[in-house]
């Protein structure tokens, strides 16, 4: 029986009456409804080409969800049969996974996007850490305990985390002392087993980085890295199953022989933050702000999301300290190019990936 995914942290959700979103069958398949504009056909085209592209090394291919084609199924909103991508269910077999959806790139819109869509994306980018850091957290859940369940902030609240709040969340994600709402001293107890090691998150990110330093096949816009692990296994001293997967390919364009500096820059920035947690664990024990300054992490309407913990509003406003995209390129994310240069220069004449797939789009 198809049902809404239990551990979805970002994107459109099927939960609730009349909502169109992805479904899972409990047997390993994830059904993602195709968007009715060219974004849907773009994603089908990408997965179709990816599955037959011999230029993707096997050790890199494992970072993409398995693709099982498309299928018409009853939509979650009750609108009847609709086409869906059939993908690998990335949370199958996981009991209480901690998950982060991290959108990569300081620019989340493709060069051929309409002016209206660019304005929409720029607004989100400016209100988040995308511009200063080259990535933002689109959604997350952190498992606390059997009694307390998950800490899962609202998606809009997560996307508007400031630079310092993002740093804090990356530490809290691998900490054991996440039970007390007022505790802002993450101990990073699981950093070495989740982020570190030969099979940890950092090692996987570095492997992906090495490929993006050379690959000129694709340019990925608004694509995310999904980070997952099992805290309960880490507590038992077992392998926590730390894993990254690339997801969301509605805005993929041909690379035309040019490196994807936008994605690579954001990836390098994320690697830097993860590396700092591993190389400076003492910082995890520093009280980053007085408790009297803490504010509830709320959704965009100012309503406290159920079961959220308190985070400090480090910037006295979500985006008060964010730099413009030029500073992000020159100071924070050295691999990224200036927004204007990207539009007018190397990627301005990219073609949509679907142009190369006759009949798919």
What average pLDDT does the structure give for the chain? 79
Closest CA to 133 of 157, 99, 97, 169: 169
User: CB neighbours (10 Å) of residue 94?
Assistant: 18
Which token pair is 91? 């949370």
The whole-angstrom separation of Cα 43 and Cα 246 is: 13
The whole-angstrom separation of Cα 219 and Cα 347 is: 9
Confidence of residue 157 (pLDDT cuts 50, 70, 90): confident
DSSP 298: B
Which token pair is 178? 């996440």
- pTM to 2 decimal places: 0.79
Give the pLDDT of residue 180.
Answer: 54
Q: Which helix (H) or strand (E) holds 122?
A: helix 115-126
The whole-angstrom separation of Cα 147 and Cα 150 is: 9
The whole-angstrom separation of Cα 161 and Cα 167 is: 10
Give the pLDDT of residue 336.
Answer: 39
Which one is predicted more confidently, 327 or 85? Answer: 85
pLDDT tens by residue, 10-68: 877 776 667 888 999 999 999 999 987 788 999 999 999 998 898 899 999 999 999 99
pLDDT tens by residue, 218-267: 999 999 999 999 999 999 999 999 999 999 999 999 999 999 999 999 99
* DSSP state string for 305-321: PTTPPEEE-TTSSTTTT
Whether residue 356 is predicted with pLDDT greater than 70 in this model: the reply is no
Q: What phi and psi values does residue 176 have, to the nearest 5 degrees?
A: -90, -25
Exposed e or buried b for every residue in 176-186, given b needs 16+ CB within 10 A? eebeeeebbeb
The whole-angstrom separation of Cα 242 and Cα 326 is: 34
Q: How far is CA 221 from CA 59, 104, 113, 264, in A?
A: 22, 8, 11, 11
Q: How far is CA 158 from CA 129, 152, 271, 290, in A?
A: 10, 9, 20, 21
Whether residue 285 is predicted with pLDDT greater than 60 in this model: the reply is no
Give the pLDDT of residue 173.
Answer: 94
The whole-angstrom separation of Cα 188 and Cα 273 is: 13
User: CB neighbours (10 Å) of residue 139?
Assistant: 23
Q: Where are the alpha helices (DSSP H) in 178-260?
A: 191-194, 201-212, 231-235
Give the pLDDT of residue 274.
Answer: 97
């Amino acid at each position: 029986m198809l049902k809404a995914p239990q551990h979805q942290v970002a994107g459109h959700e099927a939960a609730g009456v009349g909502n169109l979103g992805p479904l899972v069958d409990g047997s390993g398949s994830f059904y993602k409804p195709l968007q009715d504009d060219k974004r849907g056909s773009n994603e089908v085209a990408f997965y179709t080409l990816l599955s037959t592209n011999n230029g993707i090394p096997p050790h890199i291919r494992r970072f993409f969800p398995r693709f099982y084609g498309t299928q018409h199924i009853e939509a979650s909103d009750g609108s009847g049969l609709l086409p869906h991508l059939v993908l690998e269910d990335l949370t199958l077999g996981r009991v209480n996974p901690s998950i982060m959806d991290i959108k990569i790139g300081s620019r989340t819109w493709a060069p051929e996007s309409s002016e209206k869509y660019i304005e929409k994306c720029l607004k989100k980018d400016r209100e988040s850490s995308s511009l200063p850091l080259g990535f933002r957290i689109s959604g997350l859940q952190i498992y606390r305990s059997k009694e307390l369940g998950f800490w899962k902030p609202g998606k809009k609240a997560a996307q508007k985390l400031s630079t310092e709040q993002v740093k804090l969340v990356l530490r809290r994600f691998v900490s054991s002392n996440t039970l007390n709402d007022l505790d802002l001293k993450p101990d990073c107890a699981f950093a070495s087993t989740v982020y570190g090691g030969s099979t940890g998150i950092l090692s996987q990110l570095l492997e992906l980085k090495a490929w993006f330093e050379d690959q000129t096949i694709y340019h990925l816009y608004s694509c995310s890295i999904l980070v997952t692990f099992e805290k309960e296994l880490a507590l038992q001293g077992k392998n926590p199953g730390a894993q990254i997967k690339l997801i969301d390919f509605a805005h993929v364009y041909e690379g035309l022989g040019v490196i994807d500096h936008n994605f690579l820059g954001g990836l390098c920035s994320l690697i830097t933050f993860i590396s700092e947690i591993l190389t400076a664990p003492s910082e995890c024990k520093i009280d980053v702000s007085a408790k009297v300054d803490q504010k509830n992490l709320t959704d965009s309407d100012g309503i406290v999301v159920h079961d959220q913990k308190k985070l400090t509003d480090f910037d006295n406003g979500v985006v008060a300290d964010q730099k413009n995209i030029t500073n992000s390129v020159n100071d924070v994310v050295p691999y990224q190019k200036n927004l204007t240069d990207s539009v007018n220069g190397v990627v301005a004449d990219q073609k949509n990936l679907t142009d190369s797939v006759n009949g798919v789009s």
